[in-house]
């Protein structure tokens, strides 16, 4: 039997979900014996190949993130939304109370820690913001939801173990909180 191929990406979010994955601790050795990690922030491989399982952490906030989510959906059989940002939009949605132009001004000109004497808001190299930050399933079909900020390592391991058993995981309610 071939090992299932897994790709992960992290969009508009912190590193918490991937850190929680690493917090599986020594159990990660057995998991990595059973799967093949392809493109992930951990492997630093950027191109998403055809995989069995795609995992997205983070919300969609700009055009590049939307492109990556669409590509991940196209390249995988099962897509997992990992963490509250991917599942619900998370803290990223705080910007939804402002126009995208105001968000850029705050980030590049008016922020208390911003040093930008010319007051230049970059364009071209910086992907255009979407009108609102949104959860993954607003734009792509998601097969498995793993909420949490971040998801508990045991929950992440459970999801992968279910996939290795040939099942589409449904996270039990008692696993949807971080203790």
DSSP, residue by residue, 139-168: TS--SEEE-SSSPPHHHHHHHHHHHHTT--
Confidence band, pLDDT 50/70/90 cuts, at residue 31 = very high
For 148, residues 6+ apart whose C-beta sits below 8 A from its C-beta are: 20, 83, 84, 155, 176, 177, 178
Q: Identify whether 171 is part of a domain.
A: yes
* 121, part of any domain: no
The whole-number average pLDDT for the span 23-44 is 91
Let me know: does 171 contact 146? Beta carbons within 8 Å. Answer: yes
Establish if 61 belongs to a structural domain. yes
**Boundaries of domain holding 64:** 5-93+131-175
> 101: closest CA among 121, 116, 79?
121
pTM, full prediction: 0.91
Residues 144-160, mean pLDDT to the nearest whole number: 94
- 114 falls within a domain: no
Does residue 168 sit within a domain? yes
Judging by DSSP bridges, how do beta strands 5-10 and 51-57 pair with one another? parallel
**In total, how many domains does the chain have?**
1
Looking at residue 17, which CATH number applies to its domain?
3.40.50.700
Residue 84, in any domain of the structure: yes
């Amino acid at each position: 039997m071939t090992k299932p191929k897994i790709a992960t990406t992290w969009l508009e979010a912190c590193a918490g979900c991937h850190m929680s994955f690493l917090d599986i601790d020594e159990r990660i050795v057995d998991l990595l014996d059973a799967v093949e990690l392809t493109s992930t922030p951990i492997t630093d491989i950027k191109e998403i190949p055809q995989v069995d399982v795609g995992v997205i952490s983070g919300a969609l906030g700009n055009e590049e993130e939307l492109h990556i989510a669409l590509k991940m959906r196209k390249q995988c059989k099962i897509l997992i939304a990992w963490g509250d940002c991917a599942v619900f939009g998370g803290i990223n949605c705080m910007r939804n109370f402002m126009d995208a132009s105001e968000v850029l001004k705050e980030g590049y000109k008016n922020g208390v820690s911003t040093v930008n004497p010319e007051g230049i808001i970059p364009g071209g190299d910086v992907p255009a913001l979407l009108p609102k930050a949104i959860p993954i399933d607003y734009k792509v079909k998601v097969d498995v939801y793993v909420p949490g900020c971040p998801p508990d390592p045991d929950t992440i391991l459970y999801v992968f173990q279910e996939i290795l058993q040939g099942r589409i995981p449904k996270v039990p309610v008692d696993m949807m909180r971080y203790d």
